[in-house]
Amino acid sequence: MKIAIMGAMPEEIEPILDKLDNIKETLYAANRYYEGSYNGQDVVVAYSKIGKVFATLTATILIEKFGCDRLLFSGVAGAISDELKIGDLIIADGLCQHDLDITAFGHPFGYVPEGEVCISSDIQLRNIAKKVAKQKGLTLKEGIIATGDQFIANSERKEWIKKTFKADALEMEGASVAVVCNALDIPFFILRAISDSADMDAGFDFDTFLESSAKISADFILSIVDEM
């Protein structure tokens, strides 16, 4: 087993890189990939840069060039559900693209022909995450994560995403990673810790809590790797 651990921003992978042994850095397709071992388990770690296109590229390279056969995503998200507060963890059971819109042709939001509105993450990996949360006495919410190439700092847009996709949190990469892993038949999951509430304070909150929430998510991912 070779596990890809992916984030979107440096802050999301640095706490993971700090814990790796024998790191080998490779520059490929204008990005850095870090092969190493974590408690004897082979991992490849990278941050993609923000957004769906960069995340698609990085996920594909982790699988196709580095031979990863599991992919775990760690990072931060904006909360939609009122249950989620800053620092809380959510794991996606399904992922959708809130900015995908060919409704002009009679299709629902988030759908293109031969695709799906919502892609499910791997149930076994989710079960491991739930087991680890229980062992650690942490609350782990499971729900729908909506992805789009927009930083949401607007309550109306947030409400629209909630209503349209029944989403609990939103971010900018998860659903594109889901598309890649689904197409290439690679078990994956998307874990996020809340950095903001996607409202008018989101920009300020994101800057304030990015590092602490990213570390909460990264620490939890490493405990999951221990359990795999």
Binding-site ranges for ligand ADE (CB under 6 A): 76-78, 151-153, 170-172, 195-196, 198, 202, 206
* Residue 72 and residue 191 in contact, taking contact as beta carbons nearer than 8 Å: yes
- Annotated catalytic residue: which of 11, 12, 93, 168? 12
For β-strands 169-171 and 140-147, DSSP reports them as: parallel
Please say if 159 is a catalytic residue: no
Question: Tokens 């739930």 appear where?
Answer: 130
Which of 10, 67 has the CB closer to ligand ADE?
10
**Among this protein's residues, is 196 annotated catalytic?**
yes
* Torsional class of 49: left (φ above 0), alpha (ψ -120 to 50), beta (otherwise): left
Q: Which is nearer to ligand ADE, 38 or 209 (CB)?
A: 209
**Closest separation in Å from C-beta 105 to ligand ADE:** 27
Q: How far is the CB of 170 from ligand ADE (least distance, A)?
A: 5
Nearer to ligand ADE, 71 or 76 (CB): 76
Q: How far is the CB of 157 from ligand ADE (least distance, A)?
A: 9
Of 74, 166, 79, the C-alpha closest to 118 is 166
Identify which of 110, 70, 108 has the alpha carbon closest to the alpha carbon of residue 94.
110
Residues 6+ apart with CB under 8 A from 186: 63, 68, 69, 70, 71, 180
DSSP assignments along 210-227, one per residue: HHHHHHHHHHHHHHHHHH
Which C-beta is closer to ligand ADE: that of 46 or that of 153? Answer: 153
For tokens 């949190």, name the residue: 169
The active-site residue out of 11, 171, 173, 196 is 196
Closest separation in Å from C-beta 215 to ligand ADE: 15
Active site residues per annotation = 12, 196
